[in-house]
Structure 1
Amino acid sequence: MTETPALPALWPAPLADGTVHATVTVPGSKSVTNRALVLAALAAEPGWVRRPLRSRDSQLMADALRAMGVGIEETVSSSSAGDGAGGEAWRVIPAALHGPTTVDVGNAGTVMRFLPPVATLADGDIRFDGDPRSYERPLGQVISALRTLGARIDDDGRGALPMTVLGGGALEGGTVEIDASNSSQFVSALLLSAPRFNQGVEVRHVGGNLPSMPHIRMTVEMLRAAGAQVDTPEAGGEKDVWRVTPGALLGRDMVVEPDLSNAQPFLAAALITGGTVTVPDWPRRTTQPGDALRRIFTEMGGSCELTDAGLVFTGTGKIHGIDVDLSEVGELTPGIAAVAALADSESVLRGVAHLRLHETDRLAALTKEINGLGGDVTETADGLRIRPRRMHGGVFHTYDDHRMATAGAVIGLAVEGVQIENVATTAKTLPDFPKMWTDMLAGDADGSGVPGAGAGAGA
């Protein structure tokens, strides 16, 4: 294999010199991949995860599970289901979880939150550590909830990383109240391991608005597909309550969907340039938050159609401002803010106060970086107000946040001289983004020299 060339510290974001016409195959979903790995590791029999995302976050998850004793074999195979889902696949072989070991979470929210409940089932101590930013990210609610359910955790009173889960080989489980208003991952973390708890779990959210509900629905659907009994009694008048019954999980043959949120910059390119981008394998039904892009970017001036070829998105070159509640799809905010900065009218992005606690304070970062290029962004209590202005080139800092990097690239399509600091941070969820981006602009989405030929980085 050819080694990927080192990326410059300041990556010149390419300026679009015309309309974009390309087919871009987006790698698999990080959210689905990492949930699938956890469920497969806790199953009663081996399973497959096909078309997984290979990125820093998913590799951290796989390496952490291996450290606790799970077998994960990375292979290239055909699908036993006969659905054309061959290609890269990970064979997951459950085993008795054990320590002592140390888990590196990097700055991956799914790893730092989903795996402490798994570690309570291990025989031995599991230490969790990570990047400096991971020490600042909210984790206290997960720690206190696990203690309520019977876990022993040594965090020196920090309510954050680094910490050690003193695994006893099992967890009693039961009922727990949790304030998940800072992250829906707090709920998903408890639900994913709950079938293995002696009593299962009943999780009750007792805080303010619960963000990113599609991610919780994703967790529930994936649990059910793996054989778990999950009750969400909203129909009976209860809200924000989830009950998981103890029981064995099935080893599954799971095909990972494309990461729809990672399709965002490519769809934005069509919207901004008045071109067309096709994303193959876009699911007709999904729990991924990124599916909301079809509605949001259409309201901002584009049009889309789901075809046998995938999602075909077309822009007019005109971008309209939008007033939108993004509370359920907060991860889309950086890309929407970048497009809004190029619109013909004001935009208001609401419901995303929790983004101040993501990989970085995304609201502050977007405000500073867009304004640094001449934009006009102000923070509100729960979002951003964006007034379009003529912008100029300059350095767009990423704060080690992959979605900041892609947002800067989107602005660079229409603003000459934008330089992205540390574009390599996109490897967190979107490997080879710079090449995918330049290939898209060349109309050569697979590097074959044939305009619009097909797959980019591959899923």
Structure 2
Amino acid sequence: MTEAPVHPVLWPAPYARGAVDATVTVPGSKSVTNRALVLAALAAEPGVLRRPLRSRDSLLMAQALRALGVGIEETTGDDGDEIWRVAPAGLHGPATVDVGNAGTVMRFLPPVAALADGPVRFDGDPRSYERPLHGVIDALRVLGARIDDDGRGALPLTVHGHGALNGGPVDVDASSSSQFVSALLLSAPRFNQGVEVRNTGERLPSLPHIRMTVDMLRAAGAQVDVEESGGEPGVWRVAPSAVLGRDITIEPDLSNAQPFLAAALITGGRVTVRDWPRHTTQPGDALRGIFTDMGGSCELTDAGLTFTGTGRIHGIDVDLSEVGELTPGIAAVAALADSPSTLRGVAHLRLHETDRLAALTKEINGLGGDVTETEDGLHIRPRPLHGGAFHTYDDHRMATAGAIIGLAVEGVEIENVGTTAKTLPDFPRMWTSMLGTED
């Protein structure tokens, strides 16, 4: 495995001295890769993942599944694309899973561990202890699992698997994370009774990610029924069945394309992101409309998505409840706009890799900005910004947000830019290459 490049503690964010004109190939989607790995591990036959994302989060998922007995062979195809061949096996413990700070690993794998034969201990980074896991833990107990977490509703914990899980109906408050729902649905075909998940929360953030889970389950042969209440999905039913092994090509990660599209918007340039899918459940697809509303234009062709900026950036009033992960990048662009912006519907970001609302407020204001936290988001009044340190709090999207601002503000230095390895391992090189500079 190639060693990760070493970056300075404070990475000088490249300043754009002209319009960007670049074509970018964004690696595979983390969300699709990790869901595909879980489904392949639970399948009745081998599967293949082509162009999977190789990042900290996806490698942690693969390592965890290997610890449970799943075979994952990493090879390269004749065309140079990376291929992961997954050989399902009888899941077993004892095992230890390092979740790092990956929400998909800490939430998707306890249901898988409940199907294993033996105890599986989950641990991770210090921040992972602060992230909510109660929705998965409480639901699994209702469905028949035994879990030791000392009453924390969070990591570290041990799942005592007995080779099967009863399943059945369960209520879940998913208002703090849509991953609570996805976690139960992904393993549900292997539960004796399947599952019926009812969301009891007042809101459901990141709904596109649940749609992604449902679509991928159906593609793997599962029967999934969705019942709506008030026009929004509120109940999901998955019948017990075999999971089919699939040969799947992973879409590029559209959320990771955000900083590159932002570069075109900010500099009045043009960036093409290769292989942008015409039909997708990824939340990042919303960038086409959001960044167009902020002053750019886009064209989707067979080659990809070409986004063009005008050099002017407009403020926006937008509900980001379904696409919360895009908030840091949008906030960075909004700080450079010609009018105020209000970002709404993202109170749940206080529970992500860091408290993203507090972090964005502190870091943008530290560069001279004027950002105020609201009950469920941010209000951003553009001000002339200056250089300075931009702290990331070990959050990959904070690092890319700082790099976006650095395009238009000289002297911005990103603390721990290496944290982008969580989902975009080669970001510093890709960023400097886009600008035609050297890292």
TM-score clears 0.5: yes
Residue 111 (structure 1) shift = 0.0
- Which of 305, 322, 328 lines up with 2:322 in the alignment? 328
Partner of 2:46: 46
1 CA distance for matches of 2:82 and 2:310? 37
Partner of 2:333: 339
Aligned to 2:276, the other structure's residue is in SS state coil
Aligned to 2:257, the other structure's residue is in SS state helix
The structure 1 segments of at least 4 consecutive aligned residues displaced by more than 3 Å after TM superposition are: 1-5, 235-239
Letter in 2 for 1:41: A
Aligned to 1:262, the other structure's residue is in SS state coil
How many residues were matched structurally?
A: 439
> Alpha carbon RMSD of aligned pairs, Å?
1.5
Letter in 2 for 1:54: R
Partner of 1:71: 71
User: Contact 1:402–1:429 (CA<8 Å) still a contact in 2?
Assistant: yes
Partner of 2:177: 183
2 CA distance for matches of 1:4 and 1:189? 30
Aligned to 1:416, the other structure's residue is in SS state coil
In the alignment, is residue 17 of structure 1 matched against residue 11 of structure 2?
no
Letter in 2 for 1:112: M
Q: 1:219 to 1:4 in 2, by over 3 A?
A: closer
- How do 1:231-246 and structure 2 match up within 5 A? 231-234=225-228, 239-246=233-240
Aligned to 2:170, the other structure's residue is in SS state strand
Q: 1:4 to 1:123 in 2, by over 3 A?
A: closer
Q: 1:236 to 1:428 in 2, by over 3 A?
A: closer
Aligned to 2:256, the other structure's residue is in SS state helix
- How do 1:308-387 and structure 2 match up within 5 A? 308-387=302-381
Residue deviations 1:52-97 (CA, integer Å, cap 9, x gap)? 000000000000000000000001125xxxxx8x711100000000
User: Contact 1:192–1:219 (CA<8 Å) still a contact in 2?
Assistant: yes
Letter in 2 for 1:58: S
In the alignment, is residue 409 of structure 1 matched against residue 403 of structure 2?
yes
Partner of 2:290: 296
Q: 1:315 to 1:109 in 2, by over 3 A?
A: same
1 CA distance for matches of 2:278 and 2:84? 25
1 CA distance for matches of 2:323 and 2:247? 28
Residue deviations 1:361-389 (CA, integer Å, cap 9, x gap)? 00000000000000000000000000000
Residue 393 (structure 1) shift = 0.4
Q: 1:235 to 1:137 in 2, by over 3 A?
A: closer
- How do 1:125-144 and structure 2 match up within 5 A? 125-144=119-138
- How do 1:56-455 and structure 2 match up within 5 A? 56-78=56-78, 87-234=81-228, 239-442=233-436
1 CA distance for matches of 2:233 and 2:424? 35
Letter in 1 for 2:65: L
Aligned to 1:342, the other structure's residue is in SS state coil
Q: 1:231 to 1:267 in 2, by over 3 A?
A: same
2 CA distance for matches of 1:383 and 1:253? 40
Which region of structure 1 is more displaced relative to structure 2, 336-345 or 225-234? 225-234
Residue deviations 1:326-381 (CA, integer Å, cap 9, x gap)? 00000000000000000000000000000000000000000000000000000000
Q: 1:28 to 1:239 in 2, by over 3 A?
A: closer
Q: 1:140 to 1:276 in 2, by over 3 A?
A: same
Residue 237 (structure 1) shift = 7.5
1 CA distance for matches of 2:26 and 2:278? 16
User: Contact 1:351–1:382 (CA<8 Å) still a contact in 2?
Assistant: yes
Aligned to 1:232, the other structure's residue is in SS state strand
Letter in 2 for 1:282: W
Residue 239 (structure 1) shift = 3.8
1 CA distance for matches of 2:369 and 2:135? 37
Aligned to 1:161, the other structure's residue is in SS state coil
Q: 1:278 to 1:62 in 2, by over 3 A?
A: same
1 CA distance for matches of 2:298 and 2:109? 38
Q: 1:443 to 1:415 in 2, by over 3 A?
A: closer
2 CA distance for matches of 1:23 and 1:254? 25
1 CA distance for matches of 2:328 and 2:202? 23
Residue 432 (structure 1) shift = 1.1
User: Contact 1:22–1:443 (CA<8 Å) still a contact in 2?
Assistant: no
1 CA distance for matches of 2:241 and 2:181? 19
Residue 141 (structure 1) shift = 1.2
Residue deviations 1:417-452 (CA, integer Å, cap 9, x gap)? 0000000000000011100000000189xx9xxxxx
2 CA distance for matches of 1:69 and 1:217? 29
Letter in 1 for 2:27: P
The percent identity for this pair of structures is: 82
Residue deviations 1:87-144 (CA, integer Å, cap 9, x gap)? 1110000000000010000000000000000000000000000000000000011100
Letter in 1 for 2:33: T
2 CA distance for matches of 1:16 and 1:421? 19
Partner of 1:33: 33
Q: 1:41 to 1:381 in 2, by over 3 A?
A: same
Residue deviations 1:277-322 (CA, integer Å, cap 9, x gap)? 0001000000000000000000000000001221000000100000
Aligned to 1:189, the other structure's residue is in SS state helix
Aligned to 1:44, the other structure's residue is in SS state coil
**Structure 1 stretches lacking a partner, 5+ long:** 79-83, 448-459
Letter in 1 for 2:75: T
Q: 1:97 to 1:130 in 2, by over 3 A?
A: same
User: Contact 1:274–1:318 (CA<8 Å) still a contact in 2?
Assistant: yes
Letter in 2 for 1:135: Y
1 CA distance for matches of 2:124 and 2:228? 37
Given the two structures, how large is their TM-score scaled by the length of structure 2?
0.98
2 CA distance for matches of 1:381 and 1:239? 24
Q: 1:306 to 1:359 in 2, by over 3 A?
A: same
